[in-house]
């Protein structure tokens, strides 16, 4: 009886720990240019910093202009960082769409905008 109680307690503990891990998805911590910011000149890359390490093969970002056209030259991920190269961006508003698979196998996605000003 004591053994089975201990087994149940261990099981509940494992579930609780699992629940904690499940909430640790890779979410965007900050970016450069940062969400909602205006930069005076075109950046050469858009860099996204996440709260968890990413699976590079299943994580990526694209940068779109206000017409919805892609203006990035591809993206890569390493550790908890994702990077998309961009050609020279003319003044305007840009949207960064990202998707991530964190090393805990959870998927997440999101988007944010920044402006290139004059
Ligand atoms: Cu997770």
Ligand 1 geometric centre to CA of 19 (Å): 9
Ligand 1 geometric centre to CA of 22 (Å): 4
| CATH value at residue 112 | 2.60.40.1220
Range of the domain at 77: 25-116
Predicted pLDDT at 3: 56
- Is there a domain that residue 5 lies in? no
Overall number of domains in the chain:
1
Is the separation of the CB atoms in 85 and 45 below 8 Å? yes
**Distance between CA atoms of 92 and 66, rounded to whole angstroms?**
7
- Is there a domain that residue 53 lies in? yes
Ligand 1 geometric centre to CA of 26 (Å): 7
Q: Which residue has the tokens 């056209």?
A: 69
- Is there a domain that residue 43 lies in? yes
Predicted pLDDT at 4: 57
Helix (H/G/I), strand (E/B), else coil: 14: helix
pLDDT by residue for the chain (118 residues), tens only, comes to 455 555 555 444 444 444 444 457 899 999 999 999 999 999 999 999 999 999 999 999 999 999 999 999 999 999 999 999 998 999 999 999 999 999 999 999 999 999 999 7
Predicted pLDDT at 25: 86
Is the separation of the CB atoms in 33 and 39 below 8 Å? yes
- Is there a domain that residue 67 lies in? yes
- Is there a domain that residue 11 lies in? no
Is the separation of the CB atoms in 112 and 31 below 8 Å? yes
- Is there a domain that residue 57 lies in? yes
Ligand 1 geometric centre to CA of 12 (Å): 19
- Is there a domain that residue 6 lies in? no
């Amino acid at each position: 009886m004591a053994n089975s109680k201990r087994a149940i307690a261990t099981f509940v503990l494992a579930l609780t720990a699992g629940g904690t891990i499940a909430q640790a998805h890779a979410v965007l911590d900050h970016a450069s240019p940062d969400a909602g910011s205006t930069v005076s000149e075109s950046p050469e890359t858009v860099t996204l910093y996440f709260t968890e390490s990413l699976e590079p093969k299943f994580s990526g970002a694209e940068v779109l202009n206000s017409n919805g056209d892609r203006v990035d030259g591809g993206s890569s991920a390493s550790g908890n960082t994702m990077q998309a190269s961009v050609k020279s961006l003319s003044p305007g508003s840009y949207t960064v769409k990202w998707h991530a698979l964190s090393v805990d196998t959870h998927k997440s996605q999101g988007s944010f905008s920044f402006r290139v000003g004059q």
